[in-house]
Every structure is written in structure tokens, then in C-alpha cells.
Structure 1
Amino acid sequence: MNSRRKDGIDPVTRARARRRALQAVYAWQVSGGNAQQVIAQFAHEQAHEVADLEYFEDLVRGVLAHCAELDADLAEYLDRTVEEVDPVERAVLRIATYELRHRLDVPYRVVLNEAVEIAKRFGSEHGHTYVNGVLDRAAMQWRPAETGARAG
């Protein structure tokens, strides 16, 4: 069965791209490097996993290029410094923040749901709850047109 939507986006390959981007951003947080090195490290596996390679690259390049801005945006919603957030949850939050701020074509609910699912899969036991709380509050400020019904 083809899961591709009318707009040509396949949610399954996008979800795989996000999971692979999490691994790439996490690796970058641990060992550094530039976007091209990080992408090259994961692109081979990405191709075999049938993921949205273009979206994966956009997420990784976007997070690495805008990391300071993303961290500053997140800081208001965290109960600790960005550096004190668990590394997996930090990577999830950075990717989701990039999507919320720079990928307005992706509905905020999709961003939040995907971030929570990835945090459940890869993060600490209650990490998904933390990720959900941070992103839910942030989305109300960053995407008021989409969240207006909930915020009112």
C-alpha cells in the first residue's frame, strides 16, 4: 500500500528521515564535524532504509546551521540550560525546533507527534513527556495561527 499523500509526501519515509536525522544530530553533538561529514556518515544507511533523503539532509543541515538560534529559541521553554538537557532529548528538541521555525509546510501537530514518538523510542524513560511539554508551550508562541484554537 502506498502511504503517499496527495501532496506527494510519504509520512513513513519522512518519519524514517527524522529518526536518521536524530542519530546524525546526536553524533554531531558528541563528536562534532560539519554538516557534510555528518550527512555522509549516515547517507549510505539512509538510502538502504528507504527514507526521504532530501528531508533528512535539510533537517541535519538546518539544525547544524541554525543551532545557536534554535538553542536561544528553546531556552525560554526549558527548566535548565540546553547543555543540561539529555543529549537525545536535546537532539529531538533541536530538530523539532528547526521544523517549527523553518519548515512551516509541516503542521505543528506532525512535528510534535513525531518528536514525542522519537523521544519514546530513543530517549530516556520520561524524556518524551519533557519533549512534549517544551514543544507544546513553544508551538503556541511560534505557530499561533495553528494553535490559536487551543490557546484561546
Structure 2
Amino acid sequence: MNTPTAPRKPVAPNGTRKSSTKSARSRAREFALQGLYQHFVGGGDVASIDAFTRELQGFNKADAVHYDALLHGCVDLKDDLDALIVPLLDRELGQISPIEHGCMWIGAYEFLRCPDVPWRVVLNECIELAKDFGGTDGHKYVNAVLNGLAPKLRTAEVQADRAAGKPAPAAP
């Protein structure tokens, strides 16, 4: 099966590659996105995708519980997640890249089912996933959609941030 390309390491101002120390949850999101990509492109069943993904190098550094929640939760709630996403799109859902679609699913799922993860963290993590694995400027699209969902799905949290004068996060 095809999988997304390996993430690019960030570049420091001097042009050297920065080493990144990602959290176990960030790694879980990466592996969940790879699994969702396989689901979108290959259409395989989630159990086979899960088994394959768990064998990938570096999976042992991921938060396996969060990975399970994301991969299985997104696939189980796919119709609900798409129903939340579609009204915010400026094109047909079928025209969205599998990477952007997966990032949107992960973000919408975490907004709905992971209240322990602040909405700004969800948004930033999904933007980073889109930057690392997606096409040019795909992260801006993910940002716009998830920024549109956040006030609906995390109303109190977003309102509290606005009342505190925190600006809305934006993709660079």
C-alpha cells in the first residue's frame, strides 16, 4: 500500500535541519494519519491497517492508546466527521487530498472525543501533520476548516480564549 512520505525535519534559520523530539501523542497522530491514508487510498479494513501500522519503525515511541482512539474512532465516526467537515469546504469532499482529509478527521475527532487535549493543541498538531505530510499550502486549508469547527465543537473553550484576549491561531 502507498503511504505518505516521511515527514520533513524543520529547517533552522542557518539552513541546518533541526532535530525534533516529538511527544508520544504527536507520534500517535502521525501513525494514525498513515493508517487513515491507507484507509482512504487502499480501502483496506481497519484491523489490517492497524496491524500493518503497528509494525512500522518507531511505533513503539507512539502513545498506542491515543493512536487506537484516533484510527478506530475516525473510521467508526467517518460519516459524522464528514458531516461536520463538509459545510466548511469550498469544494467537493472527493477533491480533498487523503492527507488533508485525514488531518481534518483527526482534528474533528479530537475536538469531539478528547476534551483533555486543548483545542489550540489539536489545531496546531493537525496543521503540523498537514505541513509534514501534505501538499504545499494544504495546512492552510486544514487550518481554515478546523478553525471553523472549533467554536462549534469546543464553544466554551474557544469563548474563554477570546475573552482572555488570545488571538485565533493561524497557519503561517
Structure 1 counterpart of 2:38: 27
Aligned-pair Cα RMSD in Å:
1.6
1:35-75 residue CA offsets vs partner (Å, 9 max, x unmatched): 21111010122664411111111100001101011001111
1:90-145 residue CA offsets vs partner (Å, 9 max, x unmatched): 11111111111122221111100000011010111101111111101110111110
Q: Offset at 1:79? A: 1.0
Structure 2 counterpart of 1:125: 136
Structure 1 counterpart of 2:79: 68
User: Does the CA-based 8 Å contact 2:38-2:44 persist in structure 1?
Assistant: no
Q: Percent identity?
A: 38
Report the 3-state secondary structure (helix = DSSP H, G, I; strand = E; otherwise coil) of the residue aligned with 1:76: helix
Report the 3-state secondary structure (helix = DSSP H, G, I; strand = E; otherwise coil) of the residue aligned with 1:58: helix
TM-score w.r.t. length of structure 2: 0.77
Segments of 4+ moved more than 3 angstroms: 46-49, 149-152
Structure 2 counterpart of 1:52: 63
Moved more, 75-84 or 136-145: 75-84
Alignment pair present for 1:38 and 2:49: yes
Moved more, 78-87 or 88-97: 78-87
**Stretches of structure 1 lacking an aligned partner (at least 5 in a row):** 1-10
Higher helix share: 1
User: Does the CA-based 8 Å contact 1:20-1:46 persist in structure 2?
Assistant: no
Distance 2:32 2:96 in 1: 18
Distance 2:106 2:78 in 1: 9
